[in-house]
Amino acid sequence: MNFLKYCLGGILLASTTGICAQEAPAAKGNTLVIEPNPLNLKVGETKQVSVVALDRIGDKFPQGSISMVGLRSSGVVPSSGVLTDSLGNIKGMSVGTYNLVVFWTNENRVFLRDYLTVNVENWAPASIEVSDVPEELPVGSGMMLDLEVKDEKGTLIKDAEVKLVSSKPEILSVDAFNQVKALRPGKAQVEATAGAVRVTTSITVVPSEVRSITLNCDHQQVRTGDVVYFQAQALNSKGDPLQVPFSFSVNSGSNSAQGAFATVRADGAFVAEQPGFYTVNAIAGGQIASHSIKVVPRNVERDIEVVGRGTVTDKHTTDFWLWEGKDGGDYAVTGTFSADGMAYFWDITDPAHIKVIDSIQVDARNVNDVKVSEDGLICVISREGASNRKNGIVILDVSNPRDVKVLSEYHQQLTGGVHNLFIYDHHVYALSNGQHYEIISIEDPAAPTRVGRFEIDNPARAIHDVWVEDGIAYSSNWNDGVIMVDVGNGVAGGSPANPVEISRSKVMGDANHTTFPFRSESAGRFYVVAGDEIFPIEWLSKGLTETLQPRGYVHIIDWTEKDNPVEVATYQVPEAGAHNYWVEDETLYIGYYTGGIRVVDLSGELMGDLYRQGREMGYFIPRDPQGKVPNMAMTWGARPYKGNVFFTDMNSGLWAVKVSPKQPEEEIPVKLRD
């Protein structure tokens, strides 16, 4: 089974056997030989290590399986740095030294482990690109040079050391942060050096015609988290406008909260995370202009109260789906984890009295994911840990949720296990062994057929989830980020039988686990919510316990331009880890594991740290003394539905809560960017 590989999707491992079982005592003197150790890699390079298990007299044990787990000092498993698979292939992803625990086990439950050190270095720089350099820079102006260092393969080298030197520092000065400043008229060369590569850029410094600067903002008062724009204009002695580069800065007033923080971008976009008075400064051509703004609390807090429950305390509950039946009733389906292959069907028509109305048991340990078709007639559930190792998916008739029937099973190319899936337009997008997704037609649900596949060209590839909307699939590919794929939208000529990648975003957290797209009407932007999932190393020995603290947070990507995704904001709950999301009416609903359910305001343009801005509307942490793990919240995901919010918790089942309505005084108009 793929229990270790996923560990709820959080630890990126690659085992096909149940080594999460209790460790059998190894015979004295048994050893694990790992070669080479240490392993030296370049970023993007993949090498294979040899892992051999020897008994106490030096003979090889019969064939076994291996898996690798990364360690770091905090005890949390890093998903960046290196990627591994069950064949011993290791790919270097980020510069650094990584310590891996290597596990080996066989069918006789012989269990060995040892440690491997992996050193990842950058390739040598092959080119330096300097962009957006003006032909002329007025005296008194400064700017940050945009430098990109790439290796011989054209891959960007992160954090490359670049040394800048000015040929005439009396005309143009440079500092250690790639910032240049025009001091007096003349021409100077700036030499950028990275390794053996040198690039020279000429900049002409001209007398400044700037005699004054105007700086305006359409608002005197905004809330924390509101993005507003400051417009700067340089004028000459005649009052005519000039096209010159600006630099911006922001200061907080003396009566701002201690540690008050605000950001202003190069385009004049401003956002504050704490209330107070702030002054934005614009500088160009030796002149400066300032403009102040007052920031007040966002005040979007809500009350959350429990409406009803569907209790499950003898098994771990996984994902869920809600739908309206053809009889007009409201229903839910939930899965189970590390159990006996059960899926439960619930009547939620009266959320105060949620009740089980049917169940299905399949050959699996994990029914991790459950989805229902748009018409509410077909349910598809995933399988992992099947006794016959076929796994795959099971297709159900839920036209009568009180009498659910199995229509068919499908396991071709899915025998390694299906962790997550999605139904869209009579097709199932099913993850295959955490490496790619198969696309299966269920136009005839009794006879499903495979029509396509999407996987990335990466020997250490890994994928956790896929979400399909408007003919575009958004897959969560761990260290490779979020990948947008045309599966019928037409923007790239794709279809279910011919999925075509549109673009991808390298999420900053390097542990992309789940993705949810949404369009913000108030901001006029298209965003993608993506998130990390990182589990402590203690998961291997403790499983779900009251001391388990997942990590990871939410990333907001502005994907308005399909070929230019930009991460613009984050949301992070201290000491908790994000899991699954839903966005409706510009409100984000998160299952935040030990942090419970979180409700977050996503209205307006998004920028900066949403948690610190006070965009959290409310939270509720479900604790049940009779739970699978007593009094421990482990919230999986949440979804608003017909006036209530439903969510599942691994230790206590299905919940329904109500969020109090928005108050009129919350509305403070904010001008949007044109």
- Cβ(518)–Cβ(529) under 8 Å? yes
pLDDT at 25: 46
pLDDT tens by residue, 420-454: 999 999 999 999 988 899 999 999 999 999 999 99
- Residue among 441, 410, 411 nearest 423 (CA): 441
Q: Is 534 inside any structural domain?
A: yes
Least confident of 16-30, 179-193, 650-664: 16-30
| Residue-level pLDDT at 14 | 34
What's the pLDDT score for residue 70? 67
Strands (E) in 238-351, as ranges, are 241-242, 247-252, 262-264, 269-272, 276-284, 287-296, 304-311, 316-324, 330-337, 342-347
> Does residue 75 share a domain with residue 30?
yes
Residue 429 included in any domain: yes
Confidence at residue 8, expressed as pLDDT on a 0 to 100 scale: 36
User: 433-470 burial by CB neighbour count: b if 16+ within 10 A, else e?
Assistant: bbbbbbbbbbeebeebebbbebebeeebbbbbbbbbee
On whether residue 668 sits in a domain, the answer given is no
| Span 405-424, pLDDT tens digits | 999 999 999 998 999 999 99
Q: Give the model confidence (pLDDT) of 216-255 as tens digits.
A: 999 999 999 999 999 999 999 999 999 888 999 998 865 5
SS3 content of the chain, % helix, strand, coil (to 5): 0, 50, 50
User: Does one domain contain both 98 and 216?
Assistant: no
Distance of CA 623 to the CA centre of its chain: 26
Percentage of the chain modeled with pLDDT above 90: 66
CA-closest candidate to residue 548, choices 560, 562, 559, 534: 534
Q: Do 476 and 600 belong to one domain? A: yes
Q: What average pLDDT score do residues 165-193 get? A: 93
Residue 628 lies in a domain: no
Chosen domain end from 188, 206, 224:
206
Domain with 113 in it: what CATH number? 2.60.40.1080
* Helix and strand counts by DSSP (H, E) for the chain: 2, 56
Residues 160 and 225 both lie in one domain: no
pLDDT surpassing 60 at residue 54: yes
Phi, psi values for residue 571, rounded to 5°: -140, 125
User: Which of 486, 588, 572 shows the shortest CA–CA distance to 527?
Assistant: 588
Peptide bond into 401 cis (omega under 30): no
Q: Is residue 35 part of a domain?
A: yes
More reliable by pLDDT, 250 or 509: 250
Strand partners, 35: 50
Q: Is the pLDDT of residue 22 over 60?
A: no
Domain of 448, CATH number, reads: 2.130.10.10
Residues 413 and 266 in one domain: no
The reply to whether 132 falls in a domain is no
| CA pseudo-torsion sign 316, 321, 322, 323 | negative
pLDDT in tens, 359-408: 999 999 999 999 999 999 999 999 999 998 889 999 999 999 999 999 99
- In a domain, residue 626? The reply is no
Q: What is the mean pLDDT of residues 496-518?
A: 89
Whether residues 412 and 549 share a domain: the answer is yes
- Residue span of the structural domain in which 521 resides: 317-608+646-659
Q: Residue 7: phi, psi to the nearest 5?
A: 40, 55
> Cα(442)–Cα(451) distance, rounded to whole angstroms?
10
In this structure, is residue 674 part of a structural domain?
Answer: no
Q: What pLDDT score does 252 carry? A: 83
pLDDT in tens, 328-357: 999 999 999 989 999 999 999 999 999 999
pLDDT at 81: 73
Q: Are residues 179 and 108 in the same domain?
A: no
- Please provide residue 454's backbone torsions phi and psi, each rounded to the nearest 5 degrees: -130, 125
The domain boundary residue, chosen from 90, 121, 152: 121
The CATH code of the domain that includes 270 is 2.60.40.10
- Residue holding tokens 């068919």? 408
pTM for the model stands at 0.83
Rg (CA), the chain: 28
Statement to judge: residues 253 and 326 lie in one domain: no
Q: Are residues 331 and 411 in the same domain?
A: yes
Residues 325 and 423 in one domain: yes
pLDDT at 287 over 60: yes
Residues 412 and 551 grouped into a single domain: yes
Q: What is the pLDDT of residue 225?
A: 97
Whether the bond into 448 is cis, omega within 30 of 0: no
102 and 147 in a single domain? The answer is no
Joined together, the tokens standing for residue 380 give 């598809």
Above 50 in pLDDT, residue 78?
A: no
The per-residue pLDDT for 258 is 56
75: pLDDT strictly greater than 50: no
Domain count across the chain: 4
d(CA 408, CA 511): 34
The mean per-residue pLDDT over the stretch 466-482 comes to 93
Strands 421-424 and 427-432: antiparallel
Name the band, by pLDDT with cuts 50, 70 and 90, for residue 617. very high
